[in-house]
Amino acid sequence: MFIIIYNFFHLIIKLLIYILHKLLLKPII
């Protein structure tokens, strides 16, 4: 059960980092 929660949390963090990276790169370009 803990592994499932950890994987889900890790996926959310990965998605947030990806969105933040896209948002940060957009104004520069």
> Which pLDDT score is estimated for 2?
83
> Which pLDDT score is estimated for 22?
87
- What is the SS3 assignment for 29? coil
Rounded to whole angstroms, the Cα distance separating 27 from 20 reads: 12
Interior angle at CA 10, CA 7 and CA 15, nearest 5 = 125
With a CB cutoff of 8 Å and minimum separation 6, the contacts of 3 are none
> Which pLDDT score is estimated for 25?
80
Domain ranges of the chain: 1-29
pTM: 0.60
> Which pLDDT score is estimated for 8?
96
pLDDT by residue (tens digit) across 1-29?
A: 789 999 999 999 999 999 998 888 876 55
